[in-house]
Structure 1
Amino acid sequence: MCHICLLGPLIVSSLLTGVTGETHVFSSSSENVALPCNNALSGCTSTTWIYYYIHRSSGGVELFAGGIKKNDIKRAERLSLGSDCSLNIYKTTEDDRGQYICQQYVNEQKHGTDAQIFLHVLHLSPSSTQTEMRSGSSVTLTCQLFTFDNNCDDLIRIEDLQLFWVNQADVNLQTDSRYQILSSGQCIKTLTTTLLNEDNNTEWRCLVKKKNEIKTSVSFTVKFKDITTKISQQKDSSTPVIVICAVFSALAVILAAVLYKKRADNRRKTDSSVVKDKNDYKGTYETINISKISKSPTPSTNEQTNEVTYCEITASSKQQIKKNKVHCDDKVTYATIKGANVTPQDDFYASLN
Structure 2
Amino acid sequence: MMARLSAPLALALAALAYFIPAVSGGAPVVYAACTTIAILAVMAYGADLILSYLGEVSLGHTIFWATGGYAASMLAVNYGWNGWATAAAAIVAAVVLACVLGLVTLRTREFVFSLVTYAAAVVAMEVAFNWSFLGGSDGIVGVPPLVLTIFGWGVSGAANTDLWPIAWLLLMATLLFIHRFRRSRLGTSALMVQMNPDLATALGVDARRVRLAVFVTSAPISALAGWLYAYQRAYVGPDMFESYFLVLMLTAIVIIGRRLLLGPLIGTALIIVQQTFFSIGGDGDKIILGAVLAAILLLWPKGLIGLWDVAARRLRSSA
Q: TM-score, normalised by structure 1?
A: 0.18
Larger relative strand fraction: 1
Q: Which has the higher contact order (CA 8 A, sep 6+)?
A: 2
Q: TM-score, normalised by structure 2?
A: 0.19
